[in-house]
Chains A and B, each alone.
Chain A
Amino acid sequence: MSSFPYIHISCPCNEDRPQTLTIDSARPISPSKSPSKYNFNFPPDAPGSPTKKRTLLAGFNPSVSFDSGNLGLDLDDDDELTDEDDENNFDPRNPRSAFSLFPIENLLYCEDCHQIRCPRCVQDEIVCWYCPSCLFEVPSSTVKSDGNRCTRNCYLCPVCTALLAVIPVNPSSGHPNAHSDHPAGPFNLFCSHCHWTTSDLSPPIQLEKPTSISAQLSKLTPSSRDAEFIRLKQHYAQQLGNAQEDFTNSPAALTRLMGLYTGLGSGTGGHGGGRKGRGVKKLEMKEVDRPREINEEQELEIVERMAIEGLDATTNARQRLSQPHEPRFLSELTPTAVLLRTKRSKRCRACRHILVKPESKVQTTRFRIRLVALNYIPSLTIKRLDSSITWNNLVPHKTHRFLLTVTNPLFDPISVSLLTPRKTPGTAFASKVTILCPEFEVGANTDVWDDALMSTKPAAPASSGISTPPVAGSFTSFSKDPKMSTVYEQKRNYTSVVIEVVPPEIPDTRETRIRDERLLEIPIYVRVEFEAEVDRDDEEGGGGKPSHSGASGGAVQRERVEYSYWCVVGVGRVGDPVEGVVASEPNTPVRTPVGTPVKAPRTPAAMRTPLRQVRS
């Protein structure tokens, strides 16, 4: 378990929805097939200012559409309203959601899909192979023929995995100049960390030259495994050669493959009778049907040797498994060549655009393209408002106050709504959660010196916590109490609000169940709205939008953009109940509606705003 607190963001790939939707979301979508019905909130914009949705988590819809998998249907009946309170909310304890939760640092962002992309929804492509020790690039053809290890002089110590150095066996004493110029005699590979040398092997390996170690070692350590591998390779190459014509496009290839698996390597041809009608019975694929032999005498020898040399002379599991011949004794370990590494570029699986592209040169660590989510979506951090709170031991029934900070990486000021279920979902022991100011503005990520240099500061909308009061039905019930709904702190590009958590008494279930009931995770729905300049692609690709071409030439086009995503805040673990702290309401007067708005709004179809671009 990670240490508290942590904040994980749910990638939209959690939703099981057709990818076409994400592809289309890049351009303005015609109202008829707009995904906007999945958005929980519809700011009742004035007719002149419609909103373009870029909903990161488009599936903020009633559970029924999750299940049906048919996103176009079943959305406009009211009977689910009764239980949707629970089902709409993102449940961090749902086993499915665990796969899509990532720290923001691990997430990428596709500029074309306007979507978060997690490691599950990107595609890796290898840019180059290189040895991390000598930093030489290895062509991929060499990797295919010679394997994925450095074929030059890089070897690792089999005992401690440090890099081996080449030293002369007999250090010539007295003449430092002589032996630095022309080191003589046989050479050892020497580990400067644990002082293992190749002389420690039972037939000691000594190299004649200090260069081209791989070639020398492969001569000096002929292993039976290599011979075995060559035999296998020959066998399968032969099989493949026989079947070459079949592998092109014939259905027989499938039958052969099936024969390979159903025959379990016996390859006797007893099965596959279905093809007897054919004139030529083709050779089926055969496994090499020789089981691994265990020679009893050899094993007894090993046991005896263990008895003599003791356990100290044997290898541990990691050492054994890292070597192809699985040596039992330390004296049988051979130096392992350094594994190659790759530089990879990453593509969005939906639109095939490249999200990450490193420089192909091995020596540079720069990236040509790197679209990390940290630069696109506002990030949350949480800290304790009261330093007496211990993350691992939250007191039941006590009101814990945390400071939730939203940091804006964008160059436009954003307005943020944080929504959370009033009670944490997915558990029988729900904690009460209250965000004291769920709607606020976060300033633009401008240059640090901009504020100082500007003579007149732009009017900060900080004083009123709710600067863009939504009028949508689900938000009308927000308390307008000014004391309650003010932000805690507002600086250049971040804003902090207070979140109150009252955990209940929870029995410790770690012993009996896999699930830790005491783990307190709060799902928070983050919705971000801002005005951005229209990017060129959007403008050109817009087929379904109402035309406004008259004024597109001069003024800078701006449009309202909306993002939303779920994140999960791991606040801590609830501890044992403490005497004296009894069940009570939070210290602050509870405003019941704060938690409630996480409910799919039932917007009548007439209210749905046609997506249009705005000029400002």
Chain B
Amino acid sequence: MAPKRSGASASSAPLPPLSIDSTALLSDAISFSGTYSITIGANSVLHPRCKLNSTEGPIVIGSNCIISERTQLIAPDIDGLVLGNYVHVEVNCHIQAARIGDATSIEVGTKLGKGSCIGDNCTLSPLSTIFDVDVLPAYTVVYGENHRRMDNSATAVARNETMLAHIDCLKKLLLNKAEKYTR
């Protein structure tokens, strides 16, 4: 089969300027769009069919992050979208946040409003919604019907370890097509 460029939009439009760390893993069929730069840090994993849109601003993904499939990362404005390290974004999220802190876990189907700001070590339980320009302080857990509580469990270190194990596992399972996007 002839190698296809990722995604329908990417095949026609030129890719945005990408700076991808050599240890990052980019799967097939990732859709990059926009004109601002997209930076992907060391050891991060992007699943197939995740979408990164840098039309409005740059996107920066830190190291040891996982971006799952069908998740959209959209830079909200010229200041861009910045993901910290150890950020886990689950399936089907719609993210227009301005900043997501380190070791934050964003679970299935979460919507982050435009320009919202998520602190370090936060956990957003499945299908939670953060409104535009909302600020979550560090160690916040959003659960249930937008209930919030502070995370005192001191499990951040352990969760980072599991993240690393998870990434190691994904690196064995997923095919790395990073060179396809950097050509």
Interface residues of A (CB under 8 A from B): 159-160, 167, 171, 173, 176, 188, 190, 193-197, 199-200
- Checking A160, A173, A176, A195 against B153 with a beta-carbon cut-off of 8 angstroms, the contacting residue is A195
B123 at interface, CB cutoff 8 A: yes
Please tell me the number of chain B residues within 8 Å of chain A, measured between CB atoms: 16
Most buried by A among B151, B153, B155: B153
Contacts A190-B155, A193-B143 given; 20 further ones with Cβ under 8 A?
Answer: A159-B143, A159-B149, A160-B143, A160-B147, A167-B155, A167-B158, A171-B155, A176-B161, A176-B165, A188-B153, A193-B125, A194-B141, A194-B143, A195-B123, A195-B149, A195-B153, A195-B155, A197-B155, A199-B153, A200-B152
- Residues of chain A within 8 A of B165, CB atoms compared: 176
- Residues of chain A within 8 A of B151, CB atoms compared: 195
Distance of A167 from chain B, by nearest CB (Å): 7
Give A194 to B141 CA distance when docked, in angstroms.
6
B137 at interface, CB cutoff 8 A: no
- Residues of chain A within 8 A of B125, CB atoms compared: 193-194
Whether the pair B158, A171 counts as a contact (CB closer than 8 A) is yes
- Residues of chain A within 8 A of B161, CB atoms compared: 171, 173, 176
Give A190 to B156 CA distance when docked, in angstroms.
13
B14 at interface, CB cutoff 8 A: no
Whether the pair A196, B149 counts as a contact (CB closer than 8 A) is yes
Q: How many A-B residue pairs have CB under 8 A?
A: 44
- Residues of chain B within 8 A of A176, CB atoms compared: 161, 165
Distance of B115 from chain A, by nearest CB (Å): 26
B157 at interface, CB cutoff 8 A: yes
Give A195 to B125 CA distance when docked, in angstroms.
10
**Chain B binding surface SS class:** mixed
Whether the pair B157, A195 counts as a contact (CB closer than 8 A) is no
- Residues of chain B within 8 A of A200, CB atoms compared: 152-153
Whether the pair A199, B152 counts as a contact (CB closer than 8 A) is yes
- Checking B141, B144, B147 against A195 with a beta-carbon cut-off of 8 angstroms, the contacting residue is B141
- Residues of chain B within 8 A of A197, CB atoms compared: 152-153, 155
Nearest 7 pairs of A and B residues by beta carbon: A171-B158, A194-B143, A195-B151, A197-B153, A195-B153, A195-B141, A194-B141
Distance of A2 from chain B, by nearest CB (Å): 23
Whether the pair A194, B149 counts as a contact (CB closer than 8 A) is yes
Distance of A360 from chain B, by nearest CB (Å): 35
Give A117 to B19 CA distance when docked, in angstroms.
68
- Residues of chain A within 8 A of B141, CB atoms compared: 194-195
Give A173 to B162 CA distance when docked, in angstroms.
11
Whether the pair B153, A190 counts as a contact (CB closer than 8 A) is yes
Distance of A310 from chain B, by nearest CB (Å): 12
Give A160 to B151 CA distance when docked, in angstroms.
13
Distance of B92 from chain A, by nearest CB (Å): 18
Distance of A320 from chain B, by nearest CB (Å): 15
Distance of B118 from chain A, by nearest CB (Å): 15
Distance of A170 from chain B, by nearest CB (Å): 9
Distance of B124 from chain A, by nearest CB (Å): 11
Give A167 to B153 CA distance when docked, in angstroms.
10
Give A194 to B147 CA distance when docked, in angstroms.
10
Give A194 to B165 CA distance when docked, in angstroms.
22
Distance of B86 from chain A, by nearest CB (Å): 15
- Residues of chain B within 8 A of A167, CB atoms compared: 155, 158
Give A200 to B149 CA distance when docked, in angstroms.
12
Give A240 to B91 CA distance when docked, in angstroms.
60
Give A237 to B56 CA distance when docked, in angstroms.
75
Give A173 to B157 CA distance when docked, in angstroms.
9
Give A190 to B158 CA distance when docked, in angstroms.
12
Closest to B142 in A: A194
11 contacts between A and B (CB under 8 A): A159-B143, A160-B144, A160-B147, A167-B158, A190-B153, A190-B155, A194-B143, A195-B151, A195-B155, A200-B152, A200-B153
- Residues of chain B within 8 A of A160, CB atoms compared: 143-144, 147
Give A199 to B152 CA distance when docked, in angstroms.
8
Distance of A176 from chain B, by nearest CB (Å): 7
Give A83 to B144 CA distance when docked, in angstroms.
56
Give A173 to B152 CA distance when docked, in angstroms.
19
- Residues of chain B within 8 A of A199, CB atoms compared: 152-154
Give A171 to B159 CA distance when docked, in angstroms.
10
- Residues of chain A within 8 A of B155, CB atoms compared: 167, 171, 190, 195, 197
Q: Using a CB-CB cutoff of 8 Å, which residues 126-157 of chain B contact chain A?
A: 141, 143-144, 147, 149, 151-155, 157
Give A102 to B153 CA distance when docked, in angstroms.
47
Give A234 to B144 CA distance when docked, in angstroms.
41
Q: Could you mark each residue 84-125 of chain B with 1 if its beta carbon is under 8 Å from any beta carbon of chain A, else 0?
A: 000000000000000000000000000000000000000101
- Checking B153, B154, B157 against A196 with a beta-carbon cut-off of 8 angstroms, the contacting residue is B153
- Residues of chain B within 8 A of A190, CB atoms compared: 153, 155
- Residues of chain B within 8 A of A195, CB atoms compared: 123, 141, 149, 151-153, 155
Distance of A276 from chain B, by nearest CB (Å): 62
Give A176 to B165 CA distance when docked, in angstroms.
10
Distance of B154 from chain A, by nearest CB (Å): 8
Closest to B151 in A: A195
- Residues of chain B within 8 A of A188, CB atoms compared: 153
Give A188 to B154 CA distance when docked, in angstroms.
11
Give A196 to B139 CA distance when docked, in angstroms.
12
Distance of B150 from chain A, by nearest CB (Å): 9
- Residues of chain A within 8 A of B158, CB atoms compared: 167, 171
Closest to A169 in B: B154
- Residues of chain A within 8 A of B144, CB atoms compared: 160, 194
Most buried by B among A176, A188, A194, A195: A195
Give A340 to B149 CA distance when docked, in angstroms.
29
